[in-house]
A and B are shown apart, each in its own frame.
Chain A
Amino acid sequence: MNRHGIGQPVRRVEDQRFLTGKARYVDDIQLPHMLHGAVVMSPHAHARIKGIDATQALAMAGVHLVLTGEDARKEGLGGIPPLFMPEDMGGPKGYRTFRPLLEPAKARYVGDRIAFVVADTPELARLAAEKVEIDYEPLPAVVQVADAAKEGAPKVWDDNPAGNLAFPLMMGNKDATDAAFAKAKHTVAVRLYNNRITANTMEPRCCIGDFANDAYTLYTSSQNPHGVRGILSGAVFKMPDKNLRVISPDVGGGFGMKGDIYPEDGLVLWASRKLGRPVKWVATRTESLLGDNHGRDQLISAEMALDENGKILALKAQALHAVGAYVTNAGVVPVLCALRNIPNVYVVPAMLVMSKATFTHTTPLGPYRGAGRPEASYVIERLMDEAAKKTGIDPVELRRRNFIPPSAMPYDTTANWTVGKPVGWTYDSGEFAKLTDRALEISDWKGFEKRKKQSEEKNRLRGRSLIYYLEDSGVFNERMELRFDPSGTVTVVAGTHNHGQGHATTYAQMVSDWLGVPFENIRLVQGDTDAVSFGRGTYASRSTMLGGSALKGAADAIVEKAKHMAGHLLETAVTDIEFEEGKFKVKGTDKAIAMTDVAKAFYRPVGPTTRFGTGLDASGSSAVPPSFPNGCHICELEVDPETGVVEIDRYTVVDDVGRVINPMICHGQIEGALAQGIGQALMENVAFDAESGQMLSASFMDYAMPRAADLPAHYEMDFIDVPAKTNPLGVKGVGEAGCVGAPPVVMNALLDALKIDHLDMPATPHRVWQAMQKAKA
């Protein structure tokens, strides 16, 4: 057996570098004669820009350039558009924004980019940025999504005929839903606010622009280098792709946030063109918190109708989902996924859900780990627990009664929808009851009462919950290449872009299995538009599935090509050749030749290459539909009634991520996402002053993220592989799963401990304590 093959817990090949300080992120790159940029961000949430005076800044020794939005306009630089709006997919019309590199006339949030200063050093650039005098006329701002949707609210975009509506979305069937509610035995309702949070990658965004020899090179910390190139060359600089090379080396965390194109990516290129020297920009932490896309910020009212047996009859929901000041690249995605994933793993015969994507004078929102799926699972799983209380049915039993059974797969969630059908899902596989059984077993569900008594003895409130989540993973198509080197080693040229997921390892495991090439002879090339002809990057838990499927296509094509050479080398007809375990064999004989030896023959200076071509390489592509990772989370926690502090005592996850390529890496991805999901539930919150729009959480001091001591000491974890039927590898996504399941399970367990019906995230000690006082009163 291949110890480095698919399914093995192979150690990551990249770790040696990471653990000895030898990783190379953008900020580690120093180009000769490089200058440094600083942005001037708006200090107002909403203001007219009446004038900009850069005289003082430009007079400082060592300051080279100050750029403004007016300059961008004069030079014809375009704005950054969203990749798509609902109307582009046959959905309702919306208001499309074009985000300029610098705002010429109006600031729309605290952090909007107004000017860009370039100087000899970063310190000098920042000092000079403070000397750029901007005459602002502050205007009333609207910060909270509920306020922004009100009649007469200050408008983010003056010429938007729909007020602050960016776009509406709706899906389901109104008549069927109304009819179901009319005959329902039970109905339950929740009103939830899904808190605004932020990726806060440890590596701040950073980029270097280098204009030389009439072409641009951008080094940027991005999850999607080809996507950055497409938008910058197309929409912003309006030039052919060939003029721009984008390089994204090691990336210190992305979580969806670095899937976008940001103004600074264009600014460093533009400044470099003007100055003829490379220009680097690195965000400060405060600039990261203000300027990176945020996630969530959704207010939703939802209702569920059930019959006397606890079977779901219908669901309805109305949401306001903030988009901030601009519709970002994939800004539509969270709003869309937050609706279409609401049915989750349950038979929902009728549904009507709608959302208004709403502009506010705040940092723009975009996909952040989960991108709408956490919002959806939060709604449905909160409703399920409310329904269990209302009907008196045990919450686990209630879920079981409503699970979509394996026999119903493939299952079309949109069966009787009259609106929005094209964006709904058909699930290919899933064994929800089986995973639930396993989770109950390994969590010692039955031992709860005993543990609860023990908690009571030390004056702690213990609560628990079980939830089930399902999410969609994978989007768009992908392209991968495989290339043998003359010595027989292999290069994987990936269109995806690893930024912590261990692709150098998982792709090598696959190739090693498929082609019989030793694992250590396989390397990964990615993140450079000159080296990779095309790719879509890494986000939406897509890489193993789409990258892996495309890689399989490339491997199959390699075998096909090499077969002919093998026939020649083995002096037999190609029809007599078969490929098995890395060897070409002559059927029915013991004559064989290894793949690597066949590959080497493609590089002989003379001889067979005249017939078979020089070099052995191939590309593969994939356009497989999404897969549906799913799983069961169980959480048991304790609350200290004196302080409101919540401590998660036991946490169990049983996941179906399809076929597991590397269990070590999958576990790591799940644990990592759990940390972020638990963070959302218990501590994370981007807070703004509701009047002024000033961010109150613009440093690590004020934006709380989980530290080692805040997380459960141990997760009970297991996988049950139910291979996906939607792709040749049978894999499902894994990157986002943990933070889709964690918020509802933590909050349901907390509500169970406190015996109350509602508490919004984040459940900080202060909020928990207040809720307890309120319940007492």
Chain B
Amino acid sequence: MKFTVNGKPVEVEAGENTPLLYVLRNDLGLVGTRFGCGSGQCGACFVMVDGRPMASCDLPVSFAMNKSVTTVEGLSGKVQKALLAEQAAQCGYCMSGIIISAEFLLQKNPHPSESEVRSALDKNLCRCGSHNRVVRAVMRASREQA
């Protein structure tokens, strides 16, 4: 199966129903994308597929065929810088998925209101309670890109 990951073409051998998450982590060594629930309920495994955030834990790898996948390793942008500035991370486990959701939000809505940020992050659980700092970071990233 062929697709693009972080701008590079890849070819993997995997059952077509294998979740994309496992292919990324086990076959391609991109372990920055995390397993949190395996059922689309926590956001830890979010990646972008053709620019849209999706839960890679219950997405068959075949869905990604001939598409372009972006993982946290492929980003080095304003959201991460802002998260750093706001000191949002604690244990760090949820952050990859949060970064994906936030990047997507800012792409389609470069100047969101605070409540738009909150609802855009609704699919991402963080048990360390970094929510408010994450929201502030996204607002900061939105300001700083202007």
Contacts from A to B (Cβ < 8 Å): 11-12, 14-25, 27-28, 30, 199-204, 250-255, 282, 284-285, 499-502, 664-665, 668-669, 671-676, 699-701, 705-709, 711, 713-715
- Given A15-B84, A672-B128, A203–B89 Cβ distance below 8 Å? no
23 A-B residue pairs with Cβ-Cβ distance under 8 Å, sorted by A, are A15-B89, A18-B95, A20-B80, A21-B30, A21-B73, A21-B96, A202-B125, A202-B127, A252-B34, A252-B91, A252-B92, A254-B91, A282-B35, A285-B38, A668-B130, A671-B132, A673-B129, A707-B125, A708-B121, A708-B134, A709-B118, A711-B131, A713-B135
| Choice from A254, A673, A701, A708 contacting B118 with Cβ under 8 Å | A708
Q: What mask results when residues 110 to 140 of chain B are scored 1 for a CB within 8 Å of chain A, else 0?
A: 0000110111011011111111111100000
Partner of B133, one of A200, A252, A671: A671
Do A706 and B91 have beta carbons less than 8 Å apart? no
Q: A204-B35, A253-B93, A699-B39 in contact; A21/B127 too (CB < 8 A)?
A: no
Bound Cα distance A176, B42 (Å): 53
In the bound complex, how far is the Cα of B135 from the Cα of A284, in angstroms?
29
Instruction: State the CA gap A22–B80 with chains docked (Å).
Output: 13
Chain B residues contacting A255 (CB-CB under 8 Å) are 127
Cβ-defined partner of B37 (8 Å) among A25, A700, A713: A700
CA–CA, A715 and B73, complex, Å: 33
Instruction: Please report the C-alpha to C-alpha distance between residue A69 and residue B119 in the assembled complex, in whole angstroms.
Output: 48
Known: A203-B93, A668-B87, A672-B90. A701 touches B41 (CB 8 A): yes
Q: Which residues of B contact A284 (CB under 8 A)?
A: 38
List, in ascending order, chain B residues with CB within 8 A of A253's CB. Answer: 90-91, 93, 127-128
Asked if B106 is at the interface of the complex by the 8 Å CB criterion, the answer is: no
What B residues does A706 contact at CB under 8 A? 129, 131
Docked Cα-Cα span, A202 to B57, in Å, equals: 14
Given A18-B89, A500-B91, A700-B37; 14 other pairs, CB 8 A cutoff: A14-B89, A19-B80, A20-B76, A21-B71, A21-B73, A25-B93, A200-B127, A202-B34, A203-B36, A671-B132, A672-B90, A701-B41, A708-B118, A708-B122
Tell me whether chain B's interface is mostly helix, strand or loop, or mixed. Answer: loop
Residues of chain B within 8 A of A701, CB atoms compared: 41
Shortest CB-to-CB span from A361 to chain B, Å, is: 26
Do residues B121 and A285 form an inter-chain contact, with CB atoms below 8 A? no
Residues of B within 8 Å of A673, CB to CB, are: 129
The answer for the CA separation of A713 and B118 in the assembled complex, in Å, is 9
How many Å lie between the Cα of A24 and that of B25 in the bound state? 12
B-side contacts of A203, CB under 8 Å: 34, 36, 91, 93
Instruction: State whether A700 touches B32 (Cβ < 8 A).
Output: no
- Closest-by-CB residue of B relative to A714 is B132
B107: Cβ under 8 A from any A Cβ:
no
Per the bound structure, the CA–CA distance linking A674 and B124 in Å amounts to 18
Give the nearest-CB partner of B114 in chain A.
A713
Convert B74-88 into 0s and 1s, putting 1 for each residue whose CB lies closer than 8 angstroms to a CB of A: 001000100111010
A499 pairs with B91, CB closer than 8 A? yes
Q: Are B92 and A672 in contact (CB under 8 A)?
A: no
In the complex, the answer to whether B36 meets A204 with C-beta atoms within 8 Å is yes
Taking A12-B87, A664-B87 as contacts, is the C-beta distance between A19 and B38 under 8 angstroms?
Answer: no
Task: Tell me which residues across on chain B come within 8 A of A16, comparing CB atoms.
Answer: 84
A715 to B92, CA, bound (A): 22
Q: How far is the CB of B20 from chain A (nearest CB, A)?
A: 15
Interface contact A705-B125, CB-CB below 8 Å: yes
- Name the A residues within 8 Å of B85 (CB-CB): 11
B48 interface residue per 8 A CB criterion: no
Q: Secondary structure at chain A's binding surface: helix, strand, loop or mixed? A: loop
Best-buried of A28, A200, A202, A707 by chain B (most CB within 10 Å): A202
Complex Cα spacing A713 to B119, Å: 12
Interface string of B33-71 (1 = CB under 8 A from A): 111111101101000000000000000000000000001
Number of interface residues of B (CB under 8 A): 52
Q: Which residues of B contact A201 (CB under 8 A)?
A: 91, 93, 127
Question: Is the Cβ of A668 less than 8 Å from the Cβ of B118?
Answer: no
Docked Cα-Cα span, A202 to B95, in Å, equals 10
Determine if A675 and B131 form an interchain contact, defined as CB atoms under 8 angstroms apart: yes
Q: Does B5 contact A (CB under 8 A)?
A: no
Cβ contacts under 8 Å, B141 to chain A = none
- Bound form: Cα–Cα A715–B133 in Å: 11
Closest B residue, CB atoms, query A252: B93
Which one of A21, A664, A668 lies within 8 Å of B31 (CB-CB)? A21
A14 and B32 contact, CB distance less than 8 A: no
Docked complex Cα distance between A200 and B125 (Å) = 10
Residue among B128, B132, B134 with most chain A CB within 10 A: B128
Contact B135 A708, beta carbon cutoff 8 Å: yes
A145→B42 CA distance, assembly (Å):
31
Q: Which residue of B lies closest to A709 (CB)?
A: B118
B35, A713: Cβ atoms under 8 Å?
A: no
CA distance A715 to B129 in the complex (A): 13
Residues of A contacting B128 in the complex (Cβ-Cβ under 8 angstroms):
202, 253, 500, 672
CB < 8 Å neighbour of A22 from B32, B38, B114: B32
Contacts A12-B87, A20-B72, A711-B132 known; A202 to B38 CB distance under 8 Å? no
Kindly provide the distance from the CB of A150 to the nearest chain B CB, expressed in whole angstroms. Answer: 35
Give Cα A19 to B93, complex, Å: 9
Q: Which of A14, A24, A665, A672 has the most CB of B within 10 A?
A: A672
Contact B127 A199 (CB under 8 A): yes
Select one of A21, A250, A665, A705 contacting B72, CB under 8 A.
Answer: A21
Would you call B73 and A20 a contact (CB within 8 A)?
Answer: yes
A22 surroundings in chain B (CB, below 8 A)? 32
* Chain B residues whose C-beta falls within 8 Å of the C-beta of A21 in the assembled complex: 30-33, 71-73, 96
* Nearest Cβ on chain A to B116's Cβ, whole angstroms: 11
Chain A residues positioned under 8 Å from B34 (CB to CB): 25, 202-203, 252
